[in-house]
Structure 1
Amino acid sequence: MQFKRPAALKLVFSALIGLLLAANLHAEKREFPELNDLIRQEAANKNLPLLSIILVDKDGVVWSYGTGVDAANPDLSADSNTTYRIGSVSKLFTDIAIMQLVEKSVLDLDEPVSTYLPDFLPDNPFVTPITLRLLMSHSSGLVREPPVGNYFATNEPTLEATVKSLNTTTLVYAPGSKVQYSNAGIAVVGRVLEKVSEQPFAEALKENILQPLGMTKSAFTPDASVIRNLPEAYMWSYQGDRTVAPTFELGMSPAGSMYSSMSELALFMDALIKRGEGSDGRLLSEKTLETMWTPQSTIQSGRNRSFGIGFGLGELDGERSVEHGGAIYGFATQLKVLPDRKIGVAVATNLDMANGAINRIADHALRVLLAQQDGKAPPAYRISAPVSATTAQEMAGFYKHGDETIEISRRFGNLYVERIRGLSLRLREIDDRIVIDDQMAYSEEFEFRDGKVTVRGTEYEPIANVMPATLNPAWSALVGEYGFDHNVLYISEKFGKLHALIEWGMQYPLIDLGEGKFQFPPYGLYPNEQIVFERDDAGKVDNASLNGIGFARRSTGNIDGDVFHIEPVKPVADLEREALRAEPPMEDGEFLKADLVDVTDYSETIRLDIRYASNDNFLGVPVYSSARAFLQRPAAEAL
């Protein structure tokens, strides 16, 4: 069944809408210089290359701002027309398209989804069938990622192939028993739309959602006009490097492949504020929209999130909020509307996993607009500062709560708390108190008192830094790198547990189920999902499989213990001359005078293995002229 307008009429409407909206949504532009200043400061503090933000109320756009210039295209500066990949904000458009068909009685939210997709047959060992309502409220029990067309796959398969691959998976939970975010689930929703509308998914969205809203420069399959204002985007890692983000399209397009700008998202928020009334007629009935804004379950996700149909539900200072965030390679987006106050915000940046930073900015912008509506002074926004060296030294160490161990340490000149529910987060100071203030998260629920650390209500006791136990022999063959250049899966051991660092930023302890099977913890991106290590004919581990997603083992040198070698970009003699000509940076301050001594003078038991004085190093040639080691005298005496 199709739901289309005549093509000629559609084009006329589309052109008129675009012209009208350009005027109507800019009825009253206001100035917020304090917002401009703090956004510039936060962008610099969090190393955000570009950032665009827009505020709307019932009359349209009231303010927009952008900061940053595209490194790959200096003519492109951030503003409300800059294009971003908006990631999972795409899900809202997919779900609204489905709800249009529900209103037409073409679809039933509570009918088994197999009614519309007879070939959708994942292994469901439970009694309850999967429905559209469960899929759209993230409680279907499906895995997070499909085996084909997932977040890691670069081959851009069809939506049909992506959804079909779910037939090789088993539900993680009984449908309706747990809220667990699933990209795979929204891929299925998009496939239902595709089948029932008898159109490719992207065309159905364009015709029934984007064009009626006047979003002519937004798309799920972008053309030149859409990506003309798309900046280069960046990935980052805990190792401190930053790389250009990949640009492939996802097979699960309905879950996260939309491109848009803040000015175009303003058109979408305008329709939400007007309770479903779009510029080209009604997008949805007010009743349907309220259904989407109603919790579909009393159960919250492991990350304490509540979902309606599509929308994340929350509150800001007592005001109801409907929202969604987005994160896709190199981009982070947040869209939030306070429907009862008729205001909304959209903000995006071109840095991966920077949702914590932009969420804080988005919330503050809404608070400023609320204060203006209420005739109050705007709230203060406090910029954090580095933790003092004295406090950092006092806090550094290991802490434990139950079987969970965290570490506080310095890295790249900043203080970090590591492995809080899988995350390593930067610590800063605001008004003499410690806060989490990082690209990924902001939280004031942190306290250091009497030598103990409390994070989000959980108290951690200090423990001694002791020599770790010998690595479990069964795990030693598993430690290493797996996956892809654009998305590496790191398997390591820490605190007596095997850990998986996945999607660059999330590091989870794994539960050993035996025979090479491990389970993720009951929180995070992949709660209770399993990863299986597979071996080749010679018995060596060559693959890690996450619900059918293969992460091939990466070569990091000879894993049997031989020295890793590289091919230098220049002859070592040339590199050595360059190094000797280099000078260390000048530093101001009071420093100890050099008093270096040979460490072997202090004990006959000290033996040296200085690889750079031999051929036994990654360069394969000696770099040092002698095998000697020196320390400051007090350090040598302590040794």
Structure 2
Amino acid sequence: MTQNILTDSQELETWLDEFMAEQMDKLQIPGVTFSLVQNSELFLAKGYGYANLEQQIPVSADRTLFRVGSISKLFTATAIMQLVEKGLINLHENVNKYLKKFQIEDNYPQAVTIANLLTHTAGFDDRLVNLLTLEADNLQPLEEHLAAKMPARVIPPRNIMSYSNYGYALLGYIVELLSGITFSQYVDENILKPLEMHHSSFEQASHLTDDVSIGYRYRKQKDTYQALSFQYVSILPAGSLSATATDMAKFAIAHLQYGKYKSQRILDETTARQMQQQQFTHDPRLPGWCYGFGESLANKQRVIYHAGGLPGFLSLLYLFPSHNLGLFISNNGRGNLMRSLIEQFCDRYFPVYFNFPNHIRFYFLPHGRYVLAAG
């Protein structure tokens, strides 16, 4: 067990309360949900503000579902790695081997592999059109949508990391083909239930719908909040998950524990470690991409993460594997308080100290600026 970075939940909560009060007012955000885990346990979970302004329904960390957008892709990647463990998928196999009703264009010598899809290096000319619809009746079966909306291949595989919603939808479709059930069923049976994520779902019309927060847009000229209509994600595996903060904490624990949650395992340790290793980078000196997770550095700490956004929602899952610590945050407005939260959190709990020779003086200036002076 790693040494605890945080030792006092009340101290964290006091700091977080002050941060949220300032940032939510500054950025006009109606509601926020938050959870933090450390050493396999939930350290703090809390809701702020409102999930529904009109009805004055407060955000509850263990009841209110937020639409987490592309964080959904981590569940898709986890499902793929489960099938790798079962010997049903080869990460370096041509994707076309798994497709039955349509095929990816064969216009480069190098084939697109499962690993390329997981690391966003397939070379698709991805599009943002046709991803959302206001009417559930407009949703097509995943197979039909992917066959009709396939983007062109414009870059040879593994040359450039280019974020691809289509690529992750294709991974989810392969999960359907190999499991024989729908993607949402597969995730529910093989990830959500083992992790006791009972208040989360990829289904966009389910028994949990009434607990999903409303997304809002702040209208500055009128100083009012506009409630946004629910928009259906046409490619479920890339972004349709709705989840509570406490459920996302369980998913974080499972990955920080390399596949284990309580007595359950969603991945073998070797597979989970492989999933969290850097699999692609544009330069060895830079962070890159793992299988599902992005990679970053924060105050000299290696972080794996995924962010997500849908109309009226922004979300972030942020894990520190070497410290067995992770946090999840989501808000129901488009103001982005996450960057400030991460910066202030890391400065507070992972401070970076500078050592200078005695003749060098370090002067702080307003707004985080500083100067170095000799003498």
Query: TM-score normalised by the shorter chain: which range applies?
Result: 0.7 to 0.9
Higher normalized helix content (fraction of residues): 2
Number of residue-to-residue matches in the alignment = 347
- Aligned position for 1:75: 57
1-side partners of 2:152 and 2:293: how far apart? 26
Change (3 A) 1:138 1:238: farther
Q: For 2:246, which of 251, 255, 263 is the aligned residue?
A: 263
Equivalent pairs: percent with the same residue? 25
SS in 1 for 2:337: helix
1-side partners of 2:27 and 2:296: how far apart? 25
SS in 2 for 1:68: strand
2-side partners of 1:305 and 1:185: how far apart? 21
- Is 1:358 aligned with 2:338? yes
Q: For 1:342, which of 319, 324, 330 is the aligned residue?
A: 324
Q: For 1:179, which of 147, 161, 169 is the aligned residue?
A: 161
Q: Which amino acid aligns with 2:56?
A: P
CA displacement, residues 532-585 of structure 1 (integer Å, 9 cap, x when unaligned): xxxxxxxxxxxxxxxxxxxxxxxxxxxxxxxxxxxxxxxxxxxxxxxxxxxxxx
Task: Give unmatched runs, 5+ long, in structure 1.
Answer: 1-26, 377-429, 436-443, 446-639
- Aligned position for 2:23: 42
Q: CA deviation at 1:223?
A: 5.2
Q: CA deviation at 1:280?
A: 4.4
Q: For 1:205, which of 179, 184, 187 is the aligned residue?
A: 187
Q: CA deviation at 1:245?
A: 2.2
Q: For 2:78, which of 90, 93, 96 is the aligned residue?
A: 96
- The answer to whether the 8 Å contact 2:278/2:295 transfers is yes
- The answer to whether the 8 Å contact 1:28/1:59 transfers is no
- Is 1:157 aligned with 2:137? no
SS in 2 for 1:231: coil
Query: Within 5 Å, which residues of 2 pair with 1:448-597?
Result: none
2-side partners of 1:127 and 1:171: how far apart? 12
Q: Which amino acid aligns with 2:38?
A: D
- Aligned position for 2:103: 121
Q: Which amino acid aligns with 1:105?
A: G
- The answer to whether the 8 Å contact 1:321/1:336 transfers is yes
- Is 1:52 aligned with 2:42? no
Q: CA deviation at 1:266?
A: 0.5
- Aligned position for 2:256: 273
2-side partners of 1:261 and 1:150: how far apart? 23
- The answer to whether the 8 Å contact 1:30/1:62 transfers is no
- Aligned position for 2:356: none
- The answer to whether the 8 Å contact 2:216/2:228 transfers is yes
SS in 2 for 1:228: helix
CA displacement, residues 388-419 of structure 1 (integer Å, 9 cap, x when unaligned): xxxxxxxxxxxxxxxxxxxxxxxxxxxxxxxx
2-side partners of 1:360 and 1:290: how far apart? 29
2-side partners of 1:157 and 1:125: how far apart? 27
Change (3 A) 1:156 1:242: farther
Q: TM-score, normalised by structure 2?
A: 0.84
SS in 2 for 1:212: coil
Q: CA deviation at 1:52?
A: 1.3
CA displacement, residues 416-456 of structure 1 (integer Å, 9 cap, x when unaligned): xxxxxxxxxxxxxx9545x8xxxxxxxx89xxxxxxxxxxx
- The answer to whether the 8 Å contact 1:343/1:366 transfers is no
Q: CA RMSD in A?
A: 2.9
SS in 2 for 1:313: strand
Change (3 A) 1:431 1:52: farther
Task: Give unmatched runs, 5+ long, in structure 2.
Answer: 1-6, 354-363, 371-375
Q: Which amino acid aligns with 1:361?
A: L
- Aligned position for 1:63: 44
CA displacement, residues 327-356 of structure 1 (integer Å, 9 cap, x when unaligned): 01111100011010010000000013x3x4
Q: Which amino acid aligns with 2:215?
A: A
Change (3 A) 1:79 1:297: closer
SS in 1 for 2:232: coil
- Aligned position for 1:582: none
- The answer to whether the 8 Å contact 2:32/2:47 transfers is yes
CA displacement, residues 206-250 of structure 1 (integer Å, 9 cap, x when unaligned): 000100000011000045542332222123589888533231321
Change (3 A) 1:267 1:369: farther
- Is 1:327 aligned with 2:309? yes
Q: CA deviation at 1:144?
A: 2.1
Max radius of gyration: which structure?
A: 1
Query: Within 5 Å, which residues of 2 pair with 1:22-37?
Result: 29-32=9-12, 33-37=14-18
- Is 1:233 aligned with 2:215? yes
- The answer to whether the 8 Å contact 1:146/1:163 transfers is no
SS in 1 for 2:306: strand
User: Higher relative contact order by CA 8 Å / sep ≥ 6: 1 or 2?
Assistant: 2
Q: CA deviation at 1:29?
A: 4.9
Q: CA deviation at 1:288?
A: 1.4
Q: CA deviation at 1:368?
A: 4.1
Q: For 2:269, which of 286, 289, 294 is the aligned residue?
A: 286
2-side partners of 1:87 and 1:318: how far apart? 28
Q: TM-score, normalised by structure 1?
A: 0.51
Higher normalized strand content (fraction of residues): 1
- The answer to whether the 8 Å contact 2:252/2:326 transfers is yes
1-side partners of 2:219 and 2:82: how far apart? 41
Q: Which amino acid aligns with 2:278?
A: P
Change (3 A) 1:28 1:195: farther
Q: CA deviation at 1:28?
A: 8.5
- The answer to whether the 8 Å contact 2:307/2:316 transfers is yes
- The answer to whether the 8 Å contact 1:234/1:350 transfers is yes
